[in-house]
Structure 1
Amino acid sequence: MTPARPGGSLQSVGWTSGEPAVFPPYATVGPAKSLTSFVNGWPAGEDLAELTLLAAEGALSVGIGWQGPWERSGEAAGALRGRQVSGKAVLEVPRD
């Protein structure tokens, strides 16, 4: 892990491994930095729409590590929980 620069902020978004976060020695010592946990306690529709638009435009890189039909969602969830996927899992939902 690369330490945050002075004044930087590390965002803790997920904890799928259930393992404690480990920081290099002295990573939290020195110039001011912050660690913020992300908890979505509000409607996220508009934010997700903006992220989707940025990804579609190529302005946001989205690493896809698993892709498959909706019917295989259990397999996708298991792969994510088992840390077998690097990146996002994408479920294909039929249009009809």
Structure 2
Amino acid sequence: MALGRKTGGRVAGTVNRRTADVIERLEQLGCDPIEGMAAIAMDLDNPPELRARMYAELAQYVAPKRRALDVTSAEAPAVSIRLGIPMKAETMPPAETI
């Protein structure tokens, strides 16, 4: 990046050599992995665990994976936990602060 911008290299979206080799080999064999997984998933003779796994693998190509959200708040409410241990009457706080 001598010029302040990217120069040379692969164009974005271009597969690397190894991936291209695998794709070419699968085409030579007439193998479509997506079609194969779909066939396994829809075959009622296969165990439910295998079918579910194939459906889960295929789903990622159709629907986006959901990410967990980290929810934080600047004003976190105070939390008090009572364990059921009785306190002495003179050390107990007034009822409205509990």
What TM-score, normalized by structure 1, do the two folds share? 0.22
* Higher RCO (CA < 8 A, seq sep 6+): 1
Whose strand fraction is larger, Structure 1's or Structure 2's? 1
Whose helix fraction is larger, Structure 1's or Structure 2's? 2
Q: Flag the structure with larger Rg.
A: 2
